[in-house]
Chains A and B, each alone.
Chain A
Amino acid sequence: MTPARIAIAVFVALLAAGPLYLPPFYVTLVNYIGLYSLVALGLVLLTGIAGLTSFGQAAFVGVGAYATAVASVSFGLSPWLGLPVGLALTAAVAVILGGLTLRLSGHYLALGTIAWGISLSYVFGNVEGLGGFNGISNIPPLPLFGAAIQTAQDFYYLIWACVLLALAALVNLLNSRPGRAIRALRNAAMAESFGVNTAWLKLVVFVYAALLAGLAGWLHAHYLRFVNPGPFGVGYSIEYLFMVVVGGAAHVWGAIVGAGLITALKTWLQDILPKLFGSSGQFEVIVFGVLIILLLQHAGGGIMARVVRLFPPKRAAAIAPEAAPGLPRRAAPARGEAILEVDKAYKAFGGLVAVNGVSFEVRAGEIMGLIGPNGAGKSTMFNLITGALPLGGGEVRFRGERIDRLAARQIVRRGIARTFQHVQLRPTMTVLENAAIGATLRGRSGVAPATLRLDRAEERAILFEAARHLRRAGLGDHLYEAAGSLALGQQRIVEIARALAADPVLLLLDEPAAGLRYQEKQALAALLRALREEGMSILLVEHDMDFVMGLVDRLVVMDFGERIAGGAPEAVQADPRVIEAYLGAAS
């Protein structure tokens, strides 16, 4: 057993025996920690992993709590029915709010949720049917086979069962196909180029976090048997965020550590600070404020980041199997077929014409080089093909179909995979997980099957495929290292393996040899030649002349946005216009 597993086992055992040795006051305290942990788990996913901030989580707790309160008190429904009612309502509100703000920069979501959080707490306090500021009391306990879940001890087990299940579900989710896409959300352009609908996925994550808060609300209502607007205000939303920041936003256990620490600290401070200041009031907020400022300045990442640094996990979460059934492959085009046709492509940025009527084609099974001096428009051309920039004029066709109006995630679906000039890897994910992002479109499992671990067969196939491409590219010894710890040249190779995992017909490489040493360039060239032998088509944008000349079948040379030459490497090298573009006019 690894130390991490032992620690978790001890924690669960201590937790399970809690009511046997904890005095009632502490049972209540631990119950609260459990409720807060549920909300904080959602925030770990939302903020720590997907990079979205919500100041409205307490309001979602409120929606869940008030929904079941009204359903069971005003309508006399079973408290068990209050859960689906509350979750449905929470999800509906989250969809509306997320739909409005998730497409904008992150800070709009933060501001939008602050505003909505305040609005909602006033709604709770002012609507007749919700009992105003006095709230709703006499909420029934949870009936269970003639008895009821109603004491603090009863709820202790129910709450913590929910917390541990939610934690396990989140761990499962993160270690899966949709989970990797969620972890890639901060590199939205990269995620999109491997088929991830980032806008949709952000909404899914936002709703997921809201549902965890809604569940906490349902437990809260039937545990306390009373709801009022107080615990659902913005102040509590801020506290949830603090818990996550203190515990460690990027780590699932950070939610529980943070919730436990902040709750314990708050209880303790509320006890001693009024004695210090000689009057009562919320003095603990000063300590919290200063604590958070210092933590962010000196120990970003929270407690769990420290723990993980001290006790690095011995085994990566995602392990490639020794063997697995292959993923379905795309039908390959006939060798020599013109698969990519660029027809009079035009792009201007204001008055600057970056690409001016450039035409060329890439045929199946060949390596085509796109070269030119700095500022020639190569990268712009590359971005036009990949859908990163809209075309100003002309057409781009792939296997006969126009693709210049498609989004990046629709282009990759048709069999074009790319690398990035500035490496776009998730530095904290392993090399294997990064490469597996490439195979996103070759799997089907969504959030629900991933959470329930019904996706394992497909997951093995995806990881096997990713590992296969990495081994082939020479990174077999680095599968389980953090991608950010590799040298820049190796990171470029990971990008190529990731693109290959998408099973492309056409591979677009943006300066793959930059930052590579001589031997590494030789190895890369050998890999690209082997891929060509298998029928892969490759478009290469490159600076390094030696690398390009020995490798490509044909070349297109651009200068000042125009095509100035094209053809076999030898012919291009002898072309006087090319010599002039690179070396200047021989006057």
Chain B
Amino acid sequence: MNFDIALLLIQDGLTNGAIYALLALAILLVFAVSRVLYVPQGEFVAFGALTLATLQQAKVPGTAYLVAGIGAVAMVVELVAALRERRRQGLASSALLYVVIPTALLGLAVWLAPQKPPLLVQVLLTLALVVPLGPMTYRLAVQPIANASVLVLLFVAVAVHYALMGLGLVFFGAEGWRTPSFVSAQVALGPMTASAQSLLVIAASAILIVALWQFFGRTLWGKALRATAMNRTGARLVGIPTEASGRLAFTLAALFGAFSGVLIAPFTTIYYDSGFLVALKGFVGAVIGGMTSYPLAALGAVLVGLLESFASFYASAFKEVIVFSLLIPVLLWRSLMSRHVEEEHDE
């Protein structure tokens, strides 16, 4: 390997690593707030990429119908729950979230898609279409058993992954898509030339990560999420509703997932079932961060990206084996660090 190839691999690794970092942070956020190991994060990546790809062909993406359909189901569930609890409170905002907005989005998509709007509008529409699936997932799958054990929540997460993946097949088909690059220029950076597309991805990820950091530090809702993550009961006692925190965490995770999908779409062909593997690399990053540390998780995800890039050069057939085997030394290290007897209160 010469210097140029090494630089190229590093550039590749950093680009993928930046995307994995977004996913690692989303997975960490969801786990901290709701204790759900968010396996379906990958589906949001695939939905983001495929929605954008469909819009670029001037067609109405399946997500538009999916959001309207799942929204309707969520509304029915919400109505039944309200009827049983004899309450009216919250129904208006539910109707807005589950019916009005999805219907409006469907209308928008049907109207805009054939006109082939500029790229930025396509990206925004993609995010708008995919993100509502986050809070809907929380409402339908997680909220009814939010207090179950981590293990049961993990089963739910896997089941959601299955359901969303199957729906992805119905609404997007079995064909894979790769979108054209957003920008095609090459930028000279000292001794190397980098593709502007890679720089764009890294910059966009960095901006989103900083935004999340600011959100946690500066806003009331960000602090509420941190409080819920630290102590759920305590947070509820001071008036932070667990449901709202969960919904918000799932919304943010959906945003990060869909955005990752948009970013990754020009680099690799995405199929309806491609998300799982991509998100698992985010998981590896999150585990490196001990499922608690955001900076370590982001760093771990970048490490995963770099390792993957070099592995694909040296032993491309074993790329995935090498990346996932990275978990073994990490787990060994964590295992040696842990001293206490683990107490599981799962009944």
Chain A interface residues (CB < 8 Å from chain B): 47, 51, 53, 100-101, 103-108, 110-112, 114-116, 118-119, 122-123, 126, 186-189, 192, 198, 238, 241-242, 245, 277, 279, 281-293, 296-297, 300, 427
A118 to chain B, nearest CB (A): 5
Q: Which of B158-181 contact A (CB under 8 A)?
A: 158-167, 169-170, 173-174
Is A123 within 8 A of B321, CB to CB? Answer: yes
Those 5 A-B pairs whose CB atoms lie nearest each other, nearest first:
A289-B163, A286-B166, A289-B162, A292-B159, A115-B324
**Chain B positions 135 through 163: 1 when the CB is less than 8 Å from some CB of chain A, otherwise 0:** 00000110011001011101110111111
Inter-chain contacts of A238 with B (CB < 8 A) = 158, 162
Q: Convert B52-87 into 0s and 1s, putting 1 for each residue whose CB lies closer than 8 angstroms to a CB of A.
A: 000000000000000000000000000000000000
- Residue B212 is within 8 A (CB to CB) of chain A in the complex: no
Q: Are B331 and A108 in contact (CB under 8 A)?
A: yes
A285, B37: Cβ atoms closer than 8 Å: no
Task: List 16 contacting pairs A-B, 8 Å CB cutoff, sorted by A.
Answer: A51-B346, A101-B331, A103-B335, A103-B342, A104-B334, A104-B335, A105-B150, A106-B342, A116-B324, A116-B327, A119-B320, A123-B318, A188-B344, A277-B170, A293-B156, A296-B156
Q: Report whether B291 and A297 are in contact in the complex, using a CB–CB cutoff of 8 Å.
A: no
If the complex has contacts A104-B334, A114-B280, are A296 and B170 also in contact, measured as CB distance less than 8 A? no
**Contact between chains at A110 and B280 (CB < 8 Å):** no
Is B248 an interface residue when CB atoms closer than 8 A count as contact?
no
A281 to B166, CA, bound (A): 9
Contacting residues, chain A, for B145 (C-beta < 8 A): 296-297
Least CB separation from B73: chain A residue: A290
Q: Is B317 an interface residue (CB 8 A)?
A: yes
Q: A198 CA to B340 CA in the complex, in Å? A: 12
Contact residues in A for B162 (Cβ distance below 8 Å): 238, 285-286, 288-289, 292
Decide if B287 is an interface residue (CB 8 Å cutoff). Answer: yes
In-complex Cβ contact of B160 among A114, A192, A289 (8 A): A289
Do A186 and B167 contact each other (CB < 8 Å), given the known contacts A100-B335, A123-B321, A285-B162?
Answer: no
Contact check, A192 vs B341: say whether CB atoms are below 8 A apart.
yes
Most chain A CB within a 10 A radius of its CB, from B173, B174, B320: B320
Contacts known (A112-B331, A119-B321); A296 close to B148, Cβ less than 8 A: yes
**Nearest chain A CB to B72's CB is how many angstroms away?**
15
Asked if residues A108 and B343 are in contact (CB atoms below 8 Å), the reply is no
Q: Taking the nearest CB of chain A, how far is it from the CB of B70, in angstroms?
A: 11
Tell yes or no: B203 within 8 A of A by CB.
Answer: no
Q: Are B150 and A106 in contact (CB under 8 A)?
A: yes
Given A110-B37, A122-B318, A289-B159, A283 contacting B169 (CB threshold 8 A): yes
State the CA gap A104–B166 with chains docked (Å). 33
Partner of B151, one of A53, A101, A277: A53
**In the complex, which residues of chain A have a beta carbon less than 8 angstroms from the beta carbon of B283?**
111, 114-115
Chain B residues 164-200 with CB under 8 Å of chain A are 164-167, 169-170, 173-174
Chain B residues contacting A51 (CB-CB under 8 Å) are: 151, 344, 346
**Smallest CB–CB gap between A120 and chain B, Å?**
8
Pick the contact of B163 from A279, A293, A296 — CB < 8 Å? Answer: A293
Q: Give the docked Cα–Cα distance between A192 and B334 (Å).
A: 22
Report the separation of the CA atoms of residues A116 and B162 in the bound assembly, to the nearest whole angstrom. Answer: 20
Kindly state the separation between the CA atoms of A297 and B148 in the bound complex, as whole angstroms: 9
The answer to whether A290 touches B154 (Cβ under 8 A) is no
Please report the C-alpha to C-alpha distance between residue A288 and residue B161 in the assembled complex, in whole angstroms: 11
Point out the residues of chain B lying under 8 angstroms from A297, CB to CB.
Answer: 144-145
Q: Are A118 and B163 in contact (CB under 8 A)?
A: no
CA distance A111 to B324 in the complex (A): 10
